[in-house]
A and B are shown apart, each in its own frame.
Chain A
Amino acid sequence: MSLIEIENLSLTIGATPILTGVELTIAPGEVVGLVGESGSGKSMTALTIMRLLPHLARAEGRVAFDGIDILAATEDQMCALRGDDIGMVFQEPMTALNPVKTIGEQVAEGIRWHTKAGRAEAEERTRKILDRVGLPEAKFPLSRYPHELSGGQRQRVVIAIACALKPKLLIADEPTTALDVVLQAQILDLLRDLVSENRMGLLLISHDLAVVTEMADRLTILRSGEVTEAGDTARTLSEQQHPYTRELALASMHVPARPKPHLAGSAKPLLEVENVGRDYPGRRTSLFRPAEPIRAVHDVSLTIEPAQSVALVGRSGCGKSTLARMILALDKPTAGTIRFRGEPITGKPEQALKPTRRDMQVVFQDPYGSFDPRQKVEKLVAEPLHLLERQPAKAERREMVALALHEVGLGPRDMDKYPHEFSGGQRQRLSIARAIITRPKLVVADEPVSALDVSIRAQILDLFAELNQKLGIAYLFITHDLTVARAMADEVLVMHEGRIVERGRATDVLDHPRSEAARALVAAAPDLHRAIARKMQEQG
């Protein structure tokens, strides 16, 4: 018998249809993957099972959990199910825990609520489940607060909350999207073990086909609120009967064609980073001793040639963003020098940096957060133009913006729109247009596609490749996603605890990593080919 049966589920929010005719079943001990792009209704399906939908949402159809009609249940019945029989893990571990309560309180709260256990008993059970998710007492006493934990550790606490009462069904909504690949592999292992220990059903929601393929017995693929294909993971992905399944699989593995751009003569390196270090003042442990500095970046050297594409990969917190900030002259190194086109940029006053800033632009990860929502695209894209020697007249400025928009595949009419009128992928195009409007020689891209859906991600990677070829722009990609490095980079640098531990041609480093840090990254990175092959073996 199925644990959960969803039949012909339709959901509207106001007048907008969100889901139409969704069907889904999960048996005890089974892992079902729910895959789709943003806005396809994955999270809404999960929230329907929990009945935690937004106020205006109306659901129709049948959702049965363990014989209980979820859509008709009273709120009291739902409270009894939530956290006891159905647990849920969310995407963003940094904000999923209450900052003013200890982790012990937060885990014990659900236990006490559902079992009416006393304080001592609840604390004992809390201790047990925290031990189980890999947060041992010695380092993680119950009195810890969330801000004292890293993202991966916080996600373990959220999993402990969800699994404390051994639920029959666990819903995990993008549980590892905000984590780096090594942490992702650890969290996925943990989820897999918990499922087999307790014969839980697991609904794993993700936009990452490779992650779902590694984990799931069956797949359901959603597109604009409708199920396009569902079935065994191995068969669905090996046969790829539905065109959308094929499209998703292809986009996940997309590698843009990158013919070598012709270089304009000069063999002088574009960017030289020499023995650069950055210390931050540490925390004082004693009134009488000076605080030990924290080494964020330690003795890093690298060069980027004109039109070369370099990827800087490493786990979160390894110092790669600090290094990028120093290269962009947004932060000062405490040791070493950085030269751009032969000119040292460290310690120069802001006014003297103008030509450098013009030739060196940046694209950030979050296309939602990097635009002022109250300004029009024309003004946003034209922002870097103040770096030019001669300020263009209004008409000329519009022309330059139009050209930049054209180069990223947008039209001149988009100039008079506001950022909220664009989708995530279009917004990332806008930030690329803003970056290339001054005709820079180097673009630093900090996780430029991590927040994007696979099909849009493929388009943006193509765009980067095209601009590299057409305009001869050199790139420094900062990423923890090895597929980006593989797709885009000529050279890969692996960073670990502030140092560069390995460097070389992209294919060499990624196929035959030598350092331990690089090996850990490569081993943990989900790979769709590998995952499908493994599933084929398992499922015959």
Chain B
Amino acid sequence: MTAYLLKRLIIAVLTLVLASMVVFAVMEILPGDPARLMLGLNASADQVEMLRDQMGLNAPLVLRYLHWAGGLLSLDFGRSYTYSVPVIDLVRERIAVSLPLALIALALSTVIAIPVGVFSASRQGRAGDTLVMGAAQLGVAVPNFWFALMLIYLFAVWLRLVPAGGFPGWGAGIWPALKSLILPAVALALPQAAILARVARSALIEVLNEDYIRTARAKGLPHRAVLWRHALRNAMIPVLTILGLQFAFLLAGTIIIENVFYLPGLGRLIFQAITQRDLIVVESIVMLLVAAVILINLLVDFSYAIVDPRLRGRQ
């Protein structure tokens, strides 16, 4: 078991290092000199050159990478060109919005998808299954911002249950803050849940045809017990895989959703930073998102070992 986990951990770290190189390289290739951008169009070449020296932009590539990567490790992401504050301060504020949002959405999509998948699989081919899977098909096809707009219209404009957008901050109390995250989380979660439910259904249907399901039935377990106790855990592996892969899409979705709901999160920050060419902010947030995706997939790998004893190796 430890050997498996150790191997996964090493692979995750290597992936992170490789990703940081790619991010750094892409930022190098992109046109636009940060020093010139900071000084504006009227700056002289000498001034730009001086600032470049100051910022360490003239050092050799490898040194600059190591300096940058070392900074990342000590949470020193550098200073934003446009806000003139340390990037870490910007990020810290925003992550307090984005992280809960992503986690709520992830949890919500799982909590919706698995019962729906079980429901559908146990009624395979019947009306309930057809109806639910039709809805899921719709959920896969419709983009999340459209869901977001519909949710705003229904719950914020019409029913006035929650705010239509904006974020009061956690200082305003947990409930008001959560309330403003509910709709965005639902909008993010629904398309994910739709995909996940379809995966859960087909994985379950495959598992339900296995011989050991017949053995469980022959033991006298009723259909429901067989489904929840024997089938679901075996069907979890493909579901977990998709869950891990989808987390990246979920993060990408936050950029759109945070803009729709006017939430001061990482997604909005990266969007603004891109339009303002604040490369160091872009770079930092991209690295954060990459790290988050790698971390989630590492957790998925660990959970495989919990679900499937065969991965733990012989004792």
Which residues of chain A have a CB within 8 Å of any CB of chain B? 50, 52, 75-76, 79-84, 87-88, 90, 92, 95-102, 106, 109-110, 113-114, 145, 147-148, 158, 161-162, 283
Contact = CB atoms under 8 A, between A and B. Distances in A.
A283 B3 CA distance: 12
A66 to B, nearest CB: 15
A358 to B, nearest CB: 40
A432 to B, nearest CB: 30
B309 A158 contact: no
A97 B215 contact: yes
A99 B221 contact: no
B309 A82 contact: no
A87 B221 contact: no
B310 A82 contact: no
A50 B218 contact: yes
Given A52-B214, A92-B211, A96-B212, A113 B221 contact: yes
Contacts of A79: 220-222
B230 interface: yes
B313 to A, nearest CB: 8
Classify chain B: how many residues form its interface, as a range.
Answer: 20 to 34
B308 A99 contact: yes
Contacts of B216: 98, 109
B242 interface: no
A254 to B, nearest CB: 31
B7 interface: no
Which of B215, B229, B315 is most buried by chain A, counting CB atoms within 10 A of its CB?
Answer: B215
B220 A80 contact: yes
B215 A90 contact: yes
Contacts of B217: 52, 82
Which of B212, B221, B310 is most buried by chain A, counting CB atoms within 10 A of its CB?
Answer: B212
6 contacts: A76-B222, A82-B217, A83-B220, A95-B211, A113-B221, A145-B310
A499 to B, nearest CB: 26
Contacts of B218: 50, 52, 82-83, 87-88, 90, 161-162
Given A81-B220, A102-B309, 19 more contacts: A79-B220, A79-B221, A83-B220, A88-B218, A90-B211, A90-B214, A90-B215, A90-B218, A92-B211, A95-B210, A96-B214, A97-B212, A98-B230, A99-B309, A100-B307, A106-B215, A113-B221, A145-B309, A161-B218
Contacts of B215: 90, 96-98, 106, 158, 161
Given A83-B219, A109-B219, A100 B308 contact: yes
Given A98-B234, A99-B308, A100-B234, A109 B211 contact: no
B233 interface: yes
Interface in B169-206: none
A81 B219 CA distance: 9
Contact of B221 (A88, A109, A147): A109
Interface in B217-253: 217-223, 225, 229-230, 233-234
A156 to B, nearest CB: 14
**CB-based closest 4 A-B pairs:** A83-B220, A83-B219, A82-B220, A110-B219
Which of B210, B229, B309, B310 is most buried by chain A, counting CB atoms within 10 A of its CB?
Answer: B309
Nearest to B306: A100
A84 B219 CA distance: 7
A114 B310 contact: no
Given A82-B217, A83-B219, A113-B219, A147 B309 contact: yes
A84 B220 CA distance: 7
A51 to B, nearest CB: 10
Nearest to A283: B314
A52 B211 CA distance: 12
Contacts of B222: 75-76, 79
Contacts of B314: 148, 283
B21 to A, nearest CB: 31
Contacts of A95: 210-212
Nearest to A114: B220
A401 B218 CA distance: 47
Contacts of A92: 211
B192 to A, nearest CB: 25
A385 B212 CA distance: 42
A195 to B, nearest CB: 18
B227 to A, nearest CB: 13
B257 to A, nearest CB: 36
Interface string B281-311: 0000000000000000000000000011110
B126 to A, nearest CB: 10
Contacts of A113: 219-221, 225
Nearest to A165: B220
B315 to A, nearest CB: 8
A125 to B, nearest CB: 14
Contact of A161 (B219, B223, B234): B219
B127 to A, nearest CB: 15
A90 B219 CA distance: 12
Contact of B212 (A83, A84, A99, A110): A99
B225 to A, nearest CB: 8
A82 B226 CA distance: 13
Contacts of A88: 218
A393 B214 CA distance: 51
Interface string B251-284: 0000000000000000000000000000000000
Contacts of A110: 219-221
A83 B315 CA distance: 31
Contacts of A97: 212, 215
Nearest to A78: B220
A286 B307 CA distance: 26
Given A52-B217, A84-B220, A113-B220, A99 B234 contact: yes
Nearest to B308: A100
Given A100-B307, A147-B310, A82 B211 contact: no
A147 B315 CA distance: 12
Contacts of A158: 215
Contacts of B315: 148
Contacts of B219: 82-83, 109-110, 113, 161
